[in-house]
């Protein structure tokens, strides 16, 4: 509809935010007038960073982007969150075939819940497609270099957190 602000929601765990996420955010922001990045408060996986830390991290990493971006925590059903934000679009990133099955099923179920909101899939730059937060954490825990997968500031956050955990474990 003419004159209506097009709002998109990009949900995720962002534990931590990677260059893959950043690329999807940059691409997604071009498709909407305002992008709401939804940071989940209740991930099934136990996160390395608290929701407050992930919110602050995503916010900080998006500061330099020339786009209307808001970062919001959410713990509700995605469709309810998207509706509450006034979004017409949910953005998801698709990596290889591995993501497809899950995303396909979720998009289908979400259509049942609310068919006014469309799920739009984006692919990151080919060089960034293999990046996953889970692997970034694994590599860092085994002292591998994560510089190619996250920004320098996020790299420091991850290394500090892992050092803290090691210290706490004695
Ligand atoms: P992850 O799956 O890495 O733990 P999230 O749960 O935070 O990350 O993912 C949020 C969204 O970002 C999902 O749609 C996921 O498929 C997408 N995404 C994550 N990493 C990439 C990437 N390297 N390329 C494309 N999409 C990605």
Q: What CATH number does residue 19 fall under? A: 3.40.50.620
Query: So what's the pLDDT on residue 98?
Result: 76
98 CA from centroid of ligand 1 (Å): 11
Q: What is the pLDDT of residue 51?
A: 96
Identify the residue whose tokens are 């713990």: 75
Number of structural domains the chain divides into: 1
- Summarised one tens digit per residue, pLDDT across range 10-49 is 999 999 999 999 999 999 999 999 999 999 997 677 899 9
pLDDT averaged over every residue in the chain: 93
Q: What's the pLDDT at 170?
A: 80
**What is residue 2's predicted lDDT score, i.e. its pLDDT?**
53
pLDDT at position 128: 95
Catalytic: 127?
no
Is 109 in contact with 74 (CB distance < 8 Å)? no
> How far is it, in rounded angstroms, from Cα 56 to Cα 164?
19
Of these residues, 34, 60, 95, 161, which one is catalytic? 95
Q: Do the Cβ atoms of 75 and 42 come closer than 8 Å?
A: yes
Specify if 145 maps to a domain: yes
In-domain check, residue 2: no
Q: Is 34 in a helix, a strand, or coil?
A: strand
Is residue 33 situated within a structural domain?
yes
Q: Which domain holds residue 160?
A: 7-169
Q: How far apart are CA 61 and CA 54, in angstroms?
A: 10
pLDDT at position 103 over 90? no
152 vs 4: which has the higher pLDDT: 152
- Per-residue model confidence as pLDDT tens digits over 53-71: 999 999 999 999 999 999 9
Q: Is 30 a catalytic residue?
A: no
Q: What is the pLDDT of residues 87-99, one digit of tens each?
A: 999 999 998 777 8
d(CA 87, CA 154): 28
Question: Quick check: pTM over 0.85?
Answer: yes
Kindly tell me if the per-residue pLDDT of 50 is higher than 80. yes
- Assigned domain for 103 exists: yes
The CA distance from 86 to 12, in Å, is 18
Give all strands (DSSP E) within 31-156, no chain letters.
Answer: 34-40, 69-74, 89-93, 118-122
Pocket of ligand 1 (CB under 6 A): 12-14, 18, 20-21, 24, 92-93, 95, 99, 124, 128-129, 131-134
């Amino acid at each position: 509809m003419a004159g209506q602000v097009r709002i998109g929601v990009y949900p995720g765990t962002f534990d931590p935010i990677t260059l893959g996420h950043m690329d999807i955010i940059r691409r997604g922001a071009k498709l909407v007038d305002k992008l709401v990045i939804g940071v989940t408060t209740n991930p099934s996986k136990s996160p390395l960073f608290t929701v407050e830390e992930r919110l602050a991290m995503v916010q900080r990493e998006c500061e330099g982007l020339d786009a209307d971006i808001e970062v919001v925590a959410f713990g509700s059903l995605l469709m309810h969150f998207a509706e509450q934000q006034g979004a017409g679009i949910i953005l998801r990133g698709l990596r290889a075939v591995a993501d497809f099955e899950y995303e396909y099923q979720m998009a289908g179920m979400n259509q049942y819940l609310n068919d006014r909101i469309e799920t739009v899939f984006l692919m990151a730059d080919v060089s960034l497609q293999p990046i996953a937060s889970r692997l970034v954490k694994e590599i860092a825990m085994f002292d591998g270099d994560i510089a190619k997968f996250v920004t320098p500031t996020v790299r420091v956050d991850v290394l500090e957190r892992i050092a803290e955990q090691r210290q706490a474990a004695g």
